[in-house]
């Protein structure tokens, strides 16, 4: 009886591990990285590459600005479209600041 429990546990662990691996493989095969809605041409990219800055944006600062924007959207009751535009501009600005 002890061996039965031991083998049952091993088989269960193998099945769970197999399902986990299958799930991860499915996720990576079906989810692609979406392109950004902006791009840089070669000249613009060269200008960005030449920039040197000692400024750094922290995760805490990004969270703070996320909260500021969301509070403004709630306070002024922006419609869905305007709120999405604000969020998109903020996200693009974050990306630009990280690249610089």
Q: What pLDDT score does 94 carry?
A: 63
* Residues 88/37, Cβ–Cβ less than 8 Å: yes
Q: State pTM to two decimals.
A: 0.36
Q: How far is residue 20's CA from residue 16's CA, in Å, rounded to a whole number?
A: 6
Domain ranges of the chain: 1-32, 38-100
Angle at which helix 59-76 crosses helix 80-99, to 10 degrees, equals 160
Report residues of the chain scoring pLDDT below 70. Answer: 1, 29-37, 78, 80-85, 87-100
Give the helix/strand (H/E) hosting 8: helix 2-30
């Amino acid at each position: 009886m002890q061996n039965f429990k031991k083998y049952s546990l091993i088989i269960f662990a193998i099945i769970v591990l197999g399902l986990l691996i299958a799930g991860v493989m499915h996720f990576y095969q079906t989810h692609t990285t979406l392109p950004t809605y902006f791009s840089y041409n070669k000249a613009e990219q060269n200008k960005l590459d030449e920039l040197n800055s000692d400024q750094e944006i922290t995760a805490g600062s990004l969270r703070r600005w996320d909260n500021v924007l969301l509070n403004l959207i709630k306070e002024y009751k922006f419609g869905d479209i305007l709120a999405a535009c604000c969020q998109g501009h903020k996200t693009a600005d974050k990306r630009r600041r990280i690249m610089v």
